[in-house]
Structure 1
Amino acid sequence: MSRARVHNFSISLDGFGTGDGLSLEAPFGHAAHRLHTWMTATRFWADMTGGDGGTTGVDGSFAEQHGPGIGAEVMGAGKFGPPGWQDDPEWRGWWGDDPPFHTPTYVLTHRPRPSLEMAGGTTFHFLDAPPAEALAVAQEAAGGQDVRIGGGPTMVRDFLAAGLVDHLHLVQVPILLGRGVRLWDGLEGLEAQYDVEVVASPSGVTHLTFTR
């Protein structure tokens, strides 16, 4: 059966999945890229972006689980673009002509637009739908493979609250943001629904895996 999976989702020590003040120039607000330096240092990231080198080890092993077995993705409007992207008919996402998804990708927005076919097998579809309905659409498109729940934190929280996430991989980064969008709000007792595994990395981050 097709599962819903979250991978490589970084949060601060105080639970924020993104900072305050998101914009075109600051996709993660005042957090900048501090939540993701663990991943950008890996060979996985170098391979995905066409670079060289990169580390392996614990962080690389977790990062590489992002892709295998995924047949579709669902993401929130805030992952696809900065605030106000819906007003720009030319906006095509952050990732250039060949986004790194290579599957049907469903963007949840209250202002849908026609589907956008990109290079490399990615097609963005824009849905105004609640989590369960969006997941059902993505699972059908995934052809028996799993669906990746791609963020941001508001959307991941909504899918968790609806009981739709089967596998959740979080990366706790040792920084304090103080403001932004928190993942955990309203999810008290969530851990009771999952087996939880904790793995510390030499980079200083902690990988937390929640498996239903």
Structure 2
Amino acid sequence: MAQQVHAHMMLTLDGFGTGLNQSRERPFGTIDPRQLARWMFEDGDNNRAEIDAICSYGAYIMGRNMWAAPGPDAWEEDWKGWWGPNPPYHAPVFVLTHHARPSIAMEGGNVFHFVTEGPEVALARAREVAGERNIAIAGGVSTTRHYLNAGVIEQLHLKLVPLIAGAGERLLDGVTAKLEPIGARSTKFVTHVDYKVSKG
């Protein structure tokens, strides 16, 4: 099967992937991450297939805010992401940024590369290193929206959690891609909805 690009994202019921006032201390802003990801940490056995799927790719792409708190400034050299010494990706990760930084190798096969040349270059590099394996767009909201509208994502996997954010950054605002539902499954704290994506 030909290499594909998928995207995974957790959203509140009103469609927000991050709340207001995102910061180092609050990576999802006004959305409580313990509630947003409750399905993974409190009910992981019942969501094992979806958790394993998130971590099964040959390469990942993410925006800067998925790696560090938002802002126009250059990197803090001692900051290595939100996940500790062994992030969950276990594959090359390409981080979109305006600030160059040397690649960082971490435990478990995680290598973070910082791409200043734009989303198309990041995707080309991810395709090259992934080989025959699929690629995941790992967020955040604006990065996933860009790749949806660019027509390169074949499948979108949403995890809808029973929270109302009220404000923040909503994934589907301004999305021009067409979404065709191809699967859905509910567990205690989440509804997984899978879509086939085509260009709008």
- How does the TM-score come out when normalised to structure 2? 0.89
Asked if 1:201 corresponds to 2:186, the answer is: yes
Q: From 49, 66, 75, give the equivalent of 2:62.
A: 75
How much does 1:186 deviate? 0.9
Please tell me the residue identity of whatever aligns with 2:149.
Answer: A
Residues 22, 175 of structure 1: CA spacing in aligned structure 2 closer, same or farther, 3 A cutoff? same
Distance 1:61 1:19 in 2: 27
Please tell me the residue identity of whatever aligns with 1:95.
Answer: W
- Give deviations 1:144-191, integer Å, cap 9, x for gaps: 211111001111011101111111100111221111111001114622
Distance 2:195 2:14 in 1: 18
Root-mean-square deviation over aligned CA pairs? 1.8
Q: Please give the secondary structure, in 2, of the residue aligned with 1:73.
A: strand
Distance 2:68 2:84 in 1: 12
Alignment of 1:103-142 (within 5 A): 103-142=91-130
Residues 176, 143 of structure 1: CA spacing in aligned structure 2 closer, same or farther, 3 A cutoff? same
> What fraction of aligned residue pairs are identical, expressed as a percent?
38
Q: Match for residue 159 of structure 1?
A: 147
Distance 1:126 1:158 in 2: 18
Aligned residues: 194
Q: Please give the secondary structure, in 2, of the residue aligned with 1:159.
A: helix
Alignment of 1:64-103 (within 5 A): 64-68=52-56, 70-84=57-71, 86-103=74-91
Distance 2:69 2:189 in 1: 29
Distance 1:196 1:83 in 2: 32
Distance 1:6 1:196 in 2: 14
Deviates more, 1:77-86 or 1:100-109: 77-86
How much does 1:65 deviate? 1.4
How much does 1:200 deviate? 4.1
**Structure 1 unpaired stretches of 5+:** 44-54
Distance 1:205 1:72 in 2: 26
- How does the TM-score come out when normalised to structure 1? 0.84
Distance 1:71 1:109 in 2: 21
Q: Post-superposition, which runs of at least 4 consecutive aligned residues in structure 1 deviate over 3 A? A: 84-87
- Give deviations 1:33-91, integer Å, cap 9, x for gaps: 12211122233xxxxxxxxxxx32xx3322221123x1111111001011247341211
Q: Match for residue 35 of structure 1?
A: 36
| 8 A Cα contact 1:198 1:206, kept in partner | no
Asked if 1:14 corresponds to 2:2, the answer is: no
Distance 2:55 2:81 in 1: 19
